[in-house]
Structure 1
C-alpha cells in the first residue's frame, strides 16, 4: 500500500510541474511567451494548488480513501486530455479582453481545474498513510519530499526531452493517460473493478490516440516543438511564413525566394555603408534569407542561432545554402567566447512577443562595440508601435553609452503604425550615408522588375526619413534594470491582432 501511495504522490507532483511548463507551449503560440504568460501560469498554478490543499484537507477529514484519490486523479486526467480540444474555444472566448486579462482567463480555464484536483491529493494521501497522530509530521514530510523530487525530475524531463520529442499534444496525452492509469490502480485497491477498467481504457486510449486539436491551421508544412519555441512553417497565398511562438519571423515569396518582410531590404542596405564587401555576423538566423543575400553579394557572413531547429528549417524550407556557417549558441554567449572582429554585426533576434533583455543592455552593446572593427557598424531590427516608440528611444540611449552615432531608419507608414525599425550604431568619424549608392526609384520602376522596384522603394523611404532618436526620452537598459517587457507587451498585442485578422480569413486559429 505504501509503495502505491508513494507512486500516487510522485505522479501528482510530476504532472503539476509538467503542466505548468506545458502552459507556455499551449498558450504561447497565441499570446507569445512573455513574462506576463509566465506570471499568469505561475500564479494560476499556486492559486489552484492552494484551493486544492484547502478543499482536499477538509475532504480528507471526512474519510479519505483510495476511491477519493482515484476520482481526483481521474478527473485531472480527463481534463488534461481535453485541453487540446478546448484550447481554441477558450482563446476565442478571451480574445476580446486585453492581453493580461486574456492570458489569465485562458490559463485559469485550461489549467486551474486539473491542478486543483492534483492539489487535493496530498492531504488525502497523508490521511491514508498516517496511522497515528504521532506519525503525521514524518508522514507529511516523506510524502511532500517524494512529490517534490518527482516534480524536479519532471521539470527537467519536460523541458530537456519530452516536449522536443513528444510535442505538446503528445505530452498532454501521456500525462492524461498516466493519471488515468494511476486512478485505475487506486480503484483496484478499493476493489472497484468496473471504474478501474474504464480508467485503464481511457488512459491507454488517451496516451496512444491523442485527441485532435481544434482549429488546426491549413497550409502548415511543418510544426515542431523545439526546446525554445513552437516553430511553424505555413504556406498561405503563395507566400511561405516562419512562425515562432505564433509570431511572424520570416516571409518568403515562392518566386525567387526573396524576403517580403519590408525591413529586410533596409537591413541589406547597411552594406552600402562600406566601399567593399567584408566580414559580417548575423545574430538571429530566422529563415536565413538575410544571411543568404549577404552571402550572394560576396560578404563573408557567419550566423548565430540559439535554436538548432530554426537552423534546420532555414535550410530545408527557406533555401539557406547548406554550406553557410551557422553557430548554435546564444548571441551574447557567442560574442563572449569569440574575440574576433567583424565589419558589420546585424541583430535580428527579436520577436513581437519577446525581446531577450540580455541582448539590449549597456553591457551587451559594449560587447558588440568591442567585436566591431574601427569603422564597423551595428544594425538592429526591432518591432515597435510607432517611430517614436519609448522602446526605440531607450534602445538608442543605451546604444549611445558605447557608440558615438545612433540613427533610426523607420519603415512603417504612417509613422504612428506598427512596424519594424532599424537602429544603426557606429564609432566612425563623420558618419554619413552615401546617398548616391541607393537605387533610383524612377529607374527601378522603368526596369519592369517589381521585386527590384519594391526593394529600392523600401530602402529610399527608410534613409530619406532617418532620424536621431532623442536620448532624453529613453532610459538606459542594464543587466540590472531592463524593463523591456513593459513595452513588448503592447507591441505583442497589436502585432498578434494583425496576424489573427490576416490569417483569420480562412479560419486559422492559434
Structure 2
C-alpha cells in the first residue's frame, strides 16, 4: 500500500526547473553566510578591537548559529515539507542583514570594551554583542541546506548524491562570500554597502521563490478542482509581489543611505576609513592629531605642527637611535645617568609627564607631558652639565659624516619618520618606510603632516620587501603591528632577524618596539630570539606604560653619555627620554620564560593574549 506524503507527491510532480532554482538558492545563501562573517568583523573592530579573542568569539558565534540552523531547519522540514517556511526564514534573515549597519552602532556603544579591558569582560561583552547582532540571521540561514535537501529528496538511492551536491554548492558559495567582500566590496564600497547587497540578494531570491511557490500551489489546487474539459484561467497578479519588490529594493537602499556618515563618531573626528586591514580614524584635540585603529585602544601615530618631538610616548625613544648609533663605547659609569634620571623623576612629581600610556585612547596626557617635560629638561640639563667629563664630550661622530640611512618597517602615520628627518646633522636620517596598508599611507600624507623630506614610503609587507631590497642600512626599526596589539609572527623570528642583519652596515642597529610586560614571556622571547642572531642585545623601558625598546647590534653599546650628547646636540624635548633610557639600559635577559621564535614556532599571539589576561592583576 502506498502511504506517500501528499506534499512529497506534489513536489515530485513539479518540473525540474525548481530544483535548479533551489540549488542556486543554496549557493547564494552560502555566499551570504560568509559575507555576514567578513563584514561582522569590520562592525565589531571599532568597538571591541580585532584581537584573536574577538575573532574567536565571532567564529564561534557563526558556527553556533549554523549548527542551530541545521538542527532546527531539518526538524521543521520534516514536519512541514513545504517551501514557504524556508523562504520566509531567509526573507527575515535578509531583512536582518540589511539592518545590521544601522542597529549595531547604538548596540555596540552600549557594550563598551577594548583590548585592555579585563579579558573576562572583553570576552563576555564582545560575545554578547556579536550574538545579539549576528546569531539570528546566521541561524535562519542555517536552515537552507537541510531544508532544501528534504524538499528535493525523492528517493533513498539518490539522497547521498543530492546531499553532496547541495553541501558542495553551499561551500563554494561560502568561498565566494569569503573572497568577494574582502577583496572587492568592502575595500571599494564599504561595510554598509556590502551588507546591503547581501541583504538584497537574500530578500530578492527568497521573495521570488515565495511568490513562485505560492503561485504554483494555487495552480496545483485549481487543477485538482477543475474538470478536465475546463480551460485554465489566466493567473491573477499576486498581491504580495509589489510588497516583496519594495523589500528587495527599498529596505537595503534605505538602510544603506541611513547608515552613511561616521561609523564611529567621536569628539574631534577628522576622518575615518576602512581598509583591507583595519578600521582607521584620525581625531584632533587642540593642535594635536592622533591616528588610531579599530576600537581606538592605542595611539598609532601622533602629529603636532611644529616640533615632532616631545610626544610623551615611545616615539621619542626611537628618535634616540641615531644618537646611539653615533656613540662610541664609553667606560664611564652609570652615576651621571642615574643622577639625571632622579632629577627627571623629581621634576615630574606628581604624575610622570614624559610617558603617557601608549595605548591610551585619550589625548589629555599630552598637554601634561609637554609641561612636565619642560621642567624635566631644565633639571636634566643642570644634572648633566655639572657631571660632564671629557669622555662625554667626545662621544659623538664628527658633524661632517654622511646622513644616516634608516629602514622603518611599520610606517603608520609617519611620526617616527618625521622625527628622524627633523634631527640635526649628523644624526638626521634618510628614511625608507614600509607600510602594508595603502590607506594608512594616504591618510598620513593627507592628514598627518605629509611625507617628510628625504623619506620614501613603500607599500608592501615588511619581510617581503626586506627580502627583495638590496640596500644596506645604518638602522632598521621594526614597529609593525597587526590587529593593533599583535606583532606579526613572521617579523618576530630568528630567520627574519638574520635577513635583517644582512641588510645592516657594520656597526648597524636593529631596534624593535615591543608592547609587553617585563615578566610575561613576550619580552624575554624577543630578547632570546635576537640574542640567537646578534652578539649584543639591550633593552629598556620606553615610556611609563608597556612599551619596551630592544636594540640588537654587533658591537657593545653603552648609552651613559647619551644625555650629555642630547643636551649639547639634540632637541631639548629628547633630554628626558634620553636620561630615562640611559638609566634603564639593560643587557641581561628580562624576566619570564621565553622562547626562541622561529618560522616553525612563533606563538606571538599566545604570549600577547597571556599579557592581556594577566593585565588586570599587574594593573
TM-score range relative to shorter protein: 0.7 to 0.9
Could you say what the CA RMSD is over the residues aligned between the two structures, in angstroms?
A: 2.8
Q: State how many pairs are aligned.
A: 483
Deviates more, 1:268-277 or 1:185-194: 185-194
What's the counterpart of residue 332 of structure 1? 463
CA–CA distance in structure 2, aligned partners of residues 300 and 216 of structure 1: 37
Deviates more, 1:307-316 or 1:75-84: 75-84
What's the counterpart of residue 207 of structure 1? 252
What's the counterpart of residue 8 of structure 1? 25
Shift of 1:139: 2.1
1:245 is the counterpart of 2:375? no
Shift of 1:134: 3.0
Deviations 1:430-461 (CA, angstroms, capped at 9, x unpaired): 655543554339x99xxxxxxx5443222322
Shift of 1:269: 0.6
1:272 is the counterpart of 2:323? yes
Confirm or deny: 8 A CA contact 2:562 2:579 kept in the other structure: no
CA–CA distance in structure 2, aligned partners of residues 372 and 495 of structure 1: 36
Equivalence map 1:385-396=2 (5 Å): 386-396=517-527
Deviations 1:63-100 (CA, angstroms, capped at 9, x unpaired): 23331122111221222233232344246347484333
The counterpart of 1:368, out of the listed 491, 497, 500, is: 500
Paired residue secondary structure (2:50): coil
What's the counterpart of residue 405 of structure 1? 536
CA–CA distance in structure 2, aligned partners of residues 358 and 208 of structure 1: 42
Equivalence map 1:47-446=2 (5 Å): 47-84=64-101, 85-90=103-108, 92-93=110-111, 95=113, 97-191=120-214, 193-209=238-254, 210=256, 211-212=258-259, 216-246=265-295, 247-254=298-305, 256=307, 260=311, 262-273=313-324, 274=326, 275=397, 276=401, 277-297=403-423, 298-321=428-451, 324-350=455-481, 352-384=484-516, 386-413=517-544, 418-429=545-556, 434-435=561-562, 437-440=564-567
Paired residue secondary structure (1:344): strand
Question: What 5-or-longer segments of structure 1 have no aligned partner?
Answer: 445-451, 497-510
CA–CA distance in structure 1, aligned partners of residues 149 and 240 of structure 2: 24
Confirm or deny: 8 A CA contact 2:473 2:508 kept in the other structure: yes
CA–CA distance in structure 2, aligned partners of residues 420 and 197 of structure 1: 60
Confirm or deny: 8 A CA contact 1:99 1:493 kept in the other structure: no
Question: What 5-or-longer segments of structure 2 have no aligned partner?
Answer: 1-17, 216-237, 327-396
Deviates more, 1:169-178 or 1:213-222: 213-222
Shift of 1:197: 3.6
CA–CA distance in structure 2, aligned partners of residues 156 and 14 of structure 1: 10
Deviates more, 1:483-492 or 1:369-378: 483-492
The counterpart of 2:578, out of the listed 459, 462, 466, is: 459
Deviates more, 1:45-54 or 1:403-412: 403-412
Give TM-score, length-normalised by structure 1.
0.87
CA–CA distance in structure 1, aligned partners of residues 584 and 202 of structure 2: 60
Confirm or deny: 8 A CA contact 1:282 1:348 kept in the other structure: yes
CA–CA distance in structure 1, aligned partners of residues 239 and 187 of structure 2: 36
Distance 1:197 1:437, change over 3 A: farther
CA–CA distance in structure 1, aligned partners of residues 314 and 21 of structure 2: 59
Deviates more, 1:206-215 or 1:33-42: 206-215
Deviates more, 1:131-140 or 1:352-361: 131-140
Shift of 1:294: 2.0
Deviations 1:355-414 (CA, angstroms, capped at 9, x unpaired): 211111111112211211120101111222x4444321221111101111111121333x
Deviates more, 1:343-352 or 1:387-396: 387-396
Shift of 1:221: 2.2
Equivalence map 1:475-494=2 (5 Å): 475-489=595-609
CA–CA distance in structure 2, aligned partners of residues 312 and 283 of structure 1: 17
Deviates more, 1:279-288 or 1:176-185: 176-185
CA–CA distance in structure 1, aligned partners of residues 244 and 582 of structure 2: 66
CA–CA distance in structure 1, aligned partners of residues 67 and 264 of structure 2: 33
What's the counterpart of residue 447 of structure 1? none
CA–CA distance in structure 1, aligned partners of residues 58 and 310 of structure 2: 36
The counterpart of 1:470, out of the listed 589, 595, 601, is: 589
Give TM-score, length-normalised by structure 2.
0.72
Shift of 1:257: 5.6
Confirm or deny: 8 A CA contact 1:122 1:143 kept in the other structure: yes
CA–CA distance in structure 2, aligned partners of residues 471 and 382 of structure 1: 13
Deviates more, 1:50-59 or 1:359-368: 359-368
CA–CA distance in structure 2, aligned partners of residues 488 and 173 of structure 1: 36
Deviations 1:242-269 (CA, angstroms, capped at 9, x unpaired): 1122342012224556573511111011
Distance 1:437 1:202, change over 3 A: farther
Confirm or deny: 8 A CA contact 1:280 1:346 kept in the other structure: yes
CA–CA distance in structure 1, aligned partners of residues 159 and 184 of structure 2: 37
Confirm or deny: 8 A CA contact 1:65 1:124 kept in the other structure: no
CA–CA distance in structure 2, aligned partners of residues 58 and 374 of structure 1: 71
